[in-house]
Structure 1
Amino acid sequence: MDKLLSGRRFLVVEDEILVLMMIEDMLGDLGCESVTSAATIGQAIALIEAQTFDAAMLDMNLDGDDSNTVADALAERGVPFIYSTGNSGRDMREGFSDRAVLRKPFSFDELSSKLERLLSG
Structure 2
Amino acid sequence: MTSSQSRVPELYQHVLVVEDDPIIALGLEDTITDLGVADVRVAANVATALAMIEERAPQFALLDVGLVREKSFAIAERLNTLGIPFAFSTGYGADGVPSAFSDRPRLPKPCPTEALEVVLRRRD
Normalization by structure 2: what TM-score? 0.85
1:95 and 1:3 map into 2 onto residues whose CA distance is 27
Count of residues paired in the alignment: 117
Q: Could you say which residue in structure 2 is the equivalent of 1:5? A: 11
> Alpha-carbon deviation of 1:12?
0.4
1:12 and 1:112 map into 2 onto residues whose CA distance is 14
Structure 1 ranges of 4+ moved more than 3 A: none
2:116 and 2:45 map into 1 onto residues whose CA distance is 22
- Check conservation: 2:89, 2:111, Cα contact below 8 A: no
Q: Could you say which residue in structure 1 is the equivalent of 2:3? A: none
Higher RCO (CA-CA < 8 Å; seq separation 6+): 2
- The amino acid of 2:102's aligned partner reads S
- Check conservation: 1:56, 1:80, Cα contact below 8 A: yes
Matched, 1:101 2:106: yes
Q: Max radius of gyration: which structure?
A: 2
Q: Could you say which residue in structure 1 is the equivalent of 2:40? A: 35
Q: Aligned Cα RMSD in Å?
A: 1.8
Gapped runs of 5+ residues in structure 2? 1-7
